[in-house]
Amino acid sequence: MELQARDKEVCTVGTTHAAPPSSPRSFLLPSQITGLVQDTQRLQSSLTRLREASSAQTSALEDQLASRSTAIAQLEEKVNLQRDYDEIKRELR
């Protein structure tokens, strides 16, 4: 009877429903469940860090894009001014 109680405890750790005795979960030891929980937490933490890093990188790239777009607009304006200058210069000849 003690073995059945322990098996039931192993099946229900971390869940709200008891797993049937034939389910794979019933074969996990408490240390295995603890290891899986720790792995899950570690992976979730890694995922969070990766999301934050990706977000920061995206923000930096958007800033670069805005800066370069501004630079392009300024250069286009210079080209237009030069074109106007060249046209006036031709007219004066």
**Residue 26 exposed, middle or buried by CB count within 10 Å (0-12, 13-18, 19+):** middle
pLDDT at residue 24 in the model: 60
Give me the pLDDT at residue 22, please. 60
In the predicted model, is pLDDT for residue 21 greater than 70? no
For the segment 28-78, what is each residue's pLDDT rounded down to a tens digit?
899 999 999 999 999 999 999 999 999 999 999 999 999 999 999 999 999
Residue 12 predicted with pLDDT over 80: no
> According to the model, what pLDDT value does residue 28 have?
83
pLDDT at position 91: 85
Please tell me the distance from the alpha carbon of residue 14 to that of residue 16, in angstroms, as a whole number. Answer: 7
Give the domain ranges of the chain: 2-92
The whole-model pTM stands at 0.54
